[in-house]
Structure 1
Amino acid sequence: MKAVLKLPKLSMNMEEGTLTEWHKAEGDSFKEGEILYAVETEKVVSEVEAPCDGTLLSIIAGEGSELEVGAPVCRIEQG
């Protein structure tokens, strides 16, 4: 099933973040718990894990993108 992953709220005060680095490229497969990308918020860099096994279909937010919590980050194929 195809899905859109959105920027998660990584802390109580988080309202936005900057996507600093992709650890996967379009077409890459991944397992649940693998690091997909990194986000910087208030000088803290957090790594965001894959919520399921799947394939990265397309990147919506490139490196350096400033995003609000809930903004689309990428499209995946689950499974």
Structure 2
Amino acid sequence: MKITLKLARIGMSMQEATIAQWHKKPGESFSVGDPLYAIETDKITQDIEATADGTMMEIFVEEGEDVEVGTPLCSVDVTM
């Protein structure tokens, strides 16, 4: 099932984050717990892990780009 991942609010005061690094490229598969990308805020740098097995389909936001909470980041095809 193809889904779009959006920037989630990690902390109560988080309004935006920088996409620090993509750990998976389009076409690469991943498993539950694999890091997909890293975000940086004014307080933390954190890897965001996959919650399902799947394949990275498309990346919408480049590394180094600042985005607001709720912004679509990428699309993935997950196996249920």
Distance in 1 (alpha carbons) for counterparts of 2:16 and 2:32: 24
Distance in 1 (alpha carbons) for counterparts of 2:46 and 2:32: 17
Distance in 2 (alpha carbons) for counterparts of 1:14 and 1:71: 13
Tell me what 2:12 maps to. Answer: 12
Distance in 1 (alpha carbons) for counterparts of 2:41 and 2:32: 23
1:16 counterpart letter in structure 2 = E
* 1:49 lines up with 2:60 in the alignment: no
Within-5 A mapping of 1:14-29: 14-29=14-29
Instruction: Give structure 1 stretches of 5+ with no counterpart.
Output: none
Instruction: Give structure 2 stretches of 5+ with no counterpart.
Output: none
Q: TM-score, normalised by structure 1?
A: 0.95
Q: TM-score, normalised by structure 2?
A: 0.93
Superposition deviation, residue 70 in structure 1: 0.9
Give the share of equivalent positions with the same residue, in percent.
44
Tell me what 2:35 maps to. Answer: 35
1:46 counterpart letter in structure 2 = Q
Tell me what 1:68 maps to. Answer: 68
**Which 4+ residue blocks in structure 1 deviate beyond 2 angstroms?**
none
Aligned length: 79
